[in-house]
């Protein structure tokens, strides 16, 4: 199968959906289609070998299902301007005709797109993704039909002046009514269950999980190839490590034949250069070796080093073309001594994978702008995440997504777009999956970040929960077809049949891949984290995470958690008598001793603050357990990274791009150089010192126990040396050298302290590198005057706050309508000022469209931003401190 075209041009349209949109061409204009409002010229990029993006001049129209058999039947009026790549929902939203809170069922109407092409000669039309049952018409003649939104198509055409290209997206109703093999089970997750027969995303079809915004339209780019003599058709790039060298292989196919006797080509990676031989008149194929190549690392373990790639073609006039960048790394799976575990080794080094499950940067368009994606990737990286999972219920992401993962040093766990169903096993389905999977693997095999391939999400679990034995729940697509495709196209990557999988039940937590919701949906105590013995959690810790007041007020329009607008955004499992607000309220009661229902109506502000705090605490404590020295957990991914709509959703980042308390809680436990503490009951506290870097780290560890928030009742200091890629455990009792009831487990009288603080400082500079806190009592009934003060400073880098407290401050939270805090929801030791940079909240047009009729923000520093004015709270403070 031919690889898909990889366009390394900058994504100047800003939709983030184009191939490799983040890589700029050196000394070359990007091929942008020129439009006069009525059509697109097919001869507008004579100097460029790259495909011509047909991204403007489009119109779209919706009709009842089956109303128009061909373009000749279409009405003359009612057409909307449309962006391509894009969706019907996106076109309607841009025209102010789409309500994301009450979306129409777009998948069950017909939708037409059209554009006028001008030019002369043979062209190659490439359609990278059509959602979902689609037809391609040229001047009233149907040339192509597609029944999968995950497959790209190539069509050779000839232009003789002006032509009309029309795309039709048919209603799913007939396909859903087709009689196919009987399913052995029907999941509750998706409606209707016959979607198993259609190759489309489940986004928009999962009640209780996301808005019913359904995919329809040309959601991936449409391109014309062949407008220039050197026009590229396909580019296939791979990298591998041989001994200590990096090797990049390139196969480039042109649209038109070349004179191979006179045309010469060279391929450059970094400073290494090699000539490229011709395989035939259309194809260049060869490799370049990079001696002692630097490795690409997840950012937590090293630098995500990438090498620039350049192709030079000389047929009497030399031209250079940037082909993006590539990295060198190896991926291996470590199964553990019992063979039942799962952990990754990158470049031979064990990596604790932590991060979150990806949803979509914009559910309406199924793509995010470069700015949106960069903003989200930066938040994930800065929080200490090093892996994102693209699940089977979502879509395959754009090349921009994977290129940014390369750049930011974030590993990608990739499910194929399969989930929950008992899928058909007929020849047509197998052929569709073969094409879909092959295209995706070839398109993405240049990206170093891609680390794990997984057959799909929860299909085996779903069958097992219905009581089917292994022999009746096995599916050939996961056990035979996909493994064979992966072995052929990506033998360098591990393949997992399904997530979860392993153990006597597929969802057993102590073998293989787990979806761990013991703490979370199943309302288990924190002790269950250790008892569950999770080896790798591809999903975990789902809560209804409450956004900041700014988002609740501006985007959701309410602070009342019983308002219908609030409840509409709270996720729930279909058929369950509870939602994820109830899960969070359970932990308010069991950990904080709070009557959530009473507090909600007596003191809403306090209820919301404690709701945010308890989730931040749980996130931090659970990952501390998984990162401790004796843990056999190889990684865990939170469900989910970002919300699909404003409200208390699963995301640790809200729909406006603001981080929630949950992300801040994770950030305090996920850093590459980290100290965490675990409660060992009668054995006191264990201190775990983590160094994931490649260099030895010399540090000073301080241990302090405080009574009344500022009185030292026990303290100790010791020098520690953290070896590269190591985790070591210290007993707090051994560090102190005398008995002290750190955990209040012995209970010889009242508690002697309220908090233990472990601080790790760089031995050379004295700078605090990591700090962790343990509270033997988590109840939140007592509030004091903690002497909380705030000063506002303006520096060359921008505005910042200096926050200090005379007593221990628990969960400090900064509220400012014009800024967000770089650090938030943190504990603060007494008499130890903390500097918190402020990041200005400036409206971003692209983010403003995420949720209709709301005021959303992305964040950037701007000299025109107002002076900060807000308040700082702590959940144990009797009152807030204001600043301006």
Mind listing the pLDDT tens digit for each residue in 706-736? 999 999 999 999 999 999 999 999 999 999 9
CATH 2.60.40.10 boundaries in the chain = 235-326, 673-774
Cα–Cα distance, 488 to 483 (Å, whole number): 9
Whole-prediction pTM: 0.93
Per-residue pLDDT at 401 exceeds 50: yes
Q: Pick left, alpha or beta for residue 621 (phi over 0 → left; psi -120 to 50 → alpha; otherwise beta).
A: alpha
**What is the average pLDDT across 418-436?**
96
Here the tokens at position 680 are 């060992």
Q: Which residue has the higher pLDDT, 557 or 671?
A: 671
pLDDT of res. 7: 35
Say if residue 855's pLDDT is above 50: no
Handedness of CA 648, 649, 652, 655 (dihedral sign): negative
Nearest one of 836, 841, 831, 828 to 801, comparing CA atoms: 836
Residue-level pLDDT at 46: 41
Alpha helices in 15-144 (DSSP H): 88-94
> Measuring CA to CA, which residue among 873, 222, 227 is closest to residue 608?
873
500 upstream amide cis, omega within 30 of 0: yes
Would you state the pLDDT for residue 687?
Answer: 98
Q: Which residues pair with 345 in a beta bridge?
A: 332, 350
CATH 2.60.40 applies to domain 789-883: yes
Q: Which CATH number fits domain 235-326: 1.20.1250.20, 1.50.10.10, 2.60.40.10, 3.90.550.10?
A: 2.60.40.10
Each residue of 108-152: pLDDT tens digit? 999 999 999 999 999 999 999 999 999 999 999 999 999 999 999
Over the stretch 200-246, which tens digit does the pLDDT of each residue have?
A: 999 999 998 899 999 999 999 999 999 888 899 999 999 999 999 99
Distance CA 83, CA 588 (A): 46
Residue 682 DSSP code:
G
Render pLDDT for 795-837 as a digit per residue (tens, 0 to 9). 999 999 999 999 999 999 999 999 999 999 999 999 999 999 9
Residue 400 has pLDDT above 60, yes or no: yes
Q: Is the pLDDT of residue 3 over 90?
A: no
CA angle 197, 201, 144 (to 5 degrees): 70
Whether residue 307 is predicted with pLDDT greater than 90 in this model: the reply is yes
Q: Is the pLDDT of residue 862 over 60?
A: no
Structure tokens at 778: 């988590």
**How many angstroms separate the Cα of 417 from the Cα of each of 124, 186, 201, 413?**
28, 18, 7, 12
Secondary structure in 3-state letters for 333-393: EECCCCCCCCEEEECCEEECEEEEEECCCCCCCCCCCHHHHHHHHHHHHHCCCCEEEECCC
Residue-level pLDDT at 842:
60
Weakest-pLDDT range from 52-61, 216-225, 310-319: 310-319
CATH topology of domain 40-225: Jelly Rolls (2.60.120)
Residue 728 and residue 688 in contact, taking contact as beta carbons nearer than 8 Å:
yes
Dihedral angle sign, alpha carbons of residues 433, 438, 439, 443: positive
> Residue ranges of the alpha helices (H) in 490-563?
527-532, 549-551
Rounded (10°) angle between helices 399-408 and 370-382: 30
Please state, as a whole number, how many other Cβ atoms lie within 10 Å of the Cβ of residue 159. Answer: 18
- Report, at the CATH architecture level, how domain 673-774 is classified: Sandwich (2.60)
Please give the angle made by the CA atoms of 827, 829 and 835, to the nearest 5 degrees.
75
Q: What is the pLDDT confidence band of residue 864, given thresholds at 50, 70 and 90?
A: low
Cα Rg of the chain, angstroms: 28
Give the percent of the chain with pLDDT over 70. Answer: 92
Q: Which of 382-391, 569-578, 611-620, 678-687 has the lowest mean pLDDT?
A: 569-578
Cis peptide before 205 (omega within 30 of 0): no
| pLDDT over threshold 70, residue 255 | yes
Strands 881-883, 58-63: pairing kind: unpaired
Which of 64-73, 447-456, 561-570, 602-611 has the lowest average pLDDT? 561-570
**Residue extent(s) of CATH 2.60.120.260 domains in the chain:** 40-225
- Cα–Cα nearest to 245, from 310, 305, 328: 328
For the chain, give the mean pLDDT: 91
Q: What is the pLDDT of residues 346-367, one digit of tens each?
A: 999 999 999 999 999 999 999 9
């Amino acid at each position: 199968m031919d690889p898909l075209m990889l366009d390394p041009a900058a994504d100047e349209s800003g939709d983030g959906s184009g191939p490799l949109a983040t890589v700029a061409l050196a000394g070359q204009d990007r091929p942008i289609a020129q439009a006069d409002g009525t059509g697109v010229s097919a001869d507008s990029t004579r100097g460029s070998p790259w495909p011509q993006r047909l991204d403007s001049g489009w119109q779209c129209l919706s009709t009842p299902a089956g109303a128009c058999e061909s373009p000749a039947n279409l009405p003359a009026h009612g057409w909307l301007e449309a962006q391509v790549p894009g969706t019907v929902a996106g076109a309607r939203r841009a025209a102010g005709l789409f309500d994301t809170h009450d979306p129409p069922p777009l998948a069950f109407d017909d939708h037409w797109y059209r554009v006028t092409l001008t030019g002369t000669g043979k062209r190659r039309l490439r359609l990278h993704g059509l959602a979902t049952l689609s037809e391609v018409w040229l001047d009233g003649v149907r040339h192509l039909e597609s029944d999968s939104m995950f497959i790209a198509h190539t069509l050779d055409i000839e232009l003789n002046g002006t032509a009309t290209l029309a795309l039709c997206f048919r209603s799913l109703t007939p396909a859903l009514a087709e009689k196919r093999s009987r399913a052995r089970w029907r999941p509750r997750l998706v409606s209707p269950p016959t979607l198993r027969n259609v190759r489309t995303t489940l986004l928009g079809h999962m009640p209780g999980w996301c808005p019913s915004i359904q995919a329809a339209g040309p959601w991936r780019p449409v391109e014309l190839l062949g407008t220039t003599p050197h026009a590229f058709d396909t580019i296939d790039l791979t990298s591998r490590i041989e001994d200590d060298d990096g090797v990049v292989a390139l196969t480039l196919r042109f649209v038109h034949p070349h004179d191979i006797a006179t045309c010469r080509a060279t391929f450059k990676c970094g400073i290494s250069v090699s000539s490229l031989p011709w395989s035939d008149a259309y194809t260049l194929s060869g490799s370049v070796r990079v001696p002692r190549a630097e490795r690409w690392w997840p950012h937590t373990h090293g630098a995500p080093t990438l090498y620039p790639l350049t192709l030079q073609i000389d047929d009497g006039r030399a031209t250079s073309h940037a082909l993006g960048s590539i990295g060198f790394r190896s991926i291996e799976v470590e199964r553990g001594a019992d063979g039942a575990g799962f952990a990754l080794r990158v470049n031979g080094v064990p990596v604790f994978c932590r991060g979150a499950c990806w949803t979509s940067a914009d559910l309406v368009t199924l793509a995010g702008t470069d700015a949106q994606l960069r903003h989200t990737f930066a938040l994930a990286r800065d929080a200490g995440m090093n892996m994102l999972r693209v699940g089977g219920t979502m879509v395959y992401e754009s090349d921009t997504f994977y290129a940014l993962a390369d750049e930011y040093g974030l590993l990608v766990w990739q499910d194929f777009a399969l989930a929950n169903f008992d899928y058909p096993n007929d020849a047509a389905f197998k052929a569709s999956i073969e094409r879909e999977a092959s295209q995706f693997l070839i398109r993405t095999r240049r990206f170093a970040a891609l680390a794990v391939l997984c057959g799909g999400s929860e299909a085996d679990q779903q069958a097992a929960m219905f009581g089917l034995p292994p022999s009746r729940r096995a599916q050939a697509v996961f056990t035979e077809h996909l493994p064979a495709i992966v072995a052929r196209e990506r033998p360098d990557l591990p393949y997992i049949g399904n997530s979860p999988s392993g153990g006597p039940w597929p969802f057993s937590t102590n073998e293989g891949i787990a979806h761990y919701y013991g703490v979370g949906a199943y309302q288990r105590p924190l002790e269950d984290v250790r008892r569950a013995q999770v080896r790798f959690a591809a999903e975990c810790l789902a809560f209804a995470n409450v956004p900041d007041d700014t988002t609740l007020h501006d985007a959701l329009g309410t602070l009342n958690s019983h308002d219908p607008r609030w409840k509409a955004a709270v996720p729930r499992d279909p058929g369950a008598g509870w939602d994820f607000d109830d899960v969070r309220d359970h932990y308010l009661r069991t950990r904080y001793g709070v009557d959530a229902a009473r507090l909600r109506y007596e003191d809403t502000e306090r209820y919301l603050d404690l709701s945010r705090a308890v989730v931040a605490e749980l996130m931090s404590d659970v990952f501390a357990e998984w990162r401790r020295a004796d843990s056999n957990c190889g990684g865990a991914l939170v469900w989910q990274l970002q919300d699909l709509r404003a409200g208390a959703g699963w995301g640790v980042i809200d729909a406006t791009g603001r981080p929630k308390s949950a992300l801040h809680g994770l950030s305090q436990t996920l850093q590459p150089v980290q100290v965490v503490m675990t409660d060992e009951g009668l054995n006191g506290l264990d201190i775990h010192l983590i160094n994931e870097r490649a260099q030895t780290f010399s540090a000073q560890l301080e241990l302090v126990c405080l009574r009344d928030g500022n009185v030292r009742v026990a303290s100790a200091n010791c020098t520690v040396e953290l070896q590269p890629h190591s985790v070591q455990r210290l007993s707090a009792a051994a560090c102190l050298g005398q008995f002290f009831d750190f955990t209040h487990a012995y209970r010889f009288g009242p508690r002697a302290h309220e908090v233990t603080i472990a601080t790790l400082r760089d031995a050379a500079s004295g700078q605090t590198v990591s700090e962790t806190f343990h509270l033997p009592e988590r109840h939140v009934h007592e509030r004091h005057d903690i002497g909380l003060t705030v000063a506002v400073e303006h520096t060359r880098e921008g505005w910042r706050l200096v926050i200090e407290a005379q007593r221990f401050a628990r969960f400090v939270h900064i509220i400012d309508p014009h800024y967000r805090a770089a650090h938030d929801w943190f504990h603060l030791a007494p008499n130890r000022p903390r500097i918190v940079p402020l990041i200005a909240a400036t409206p971003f047009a692209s983010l403003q469209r995420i949720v209709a009729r709301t005021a959303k923000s992305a964040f950037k520093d701007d000299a025109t931003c107002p002076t900060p004015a807000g308040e700082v709270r702590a959940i144990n403070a009797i009152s807030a401190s204001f600043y301006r």
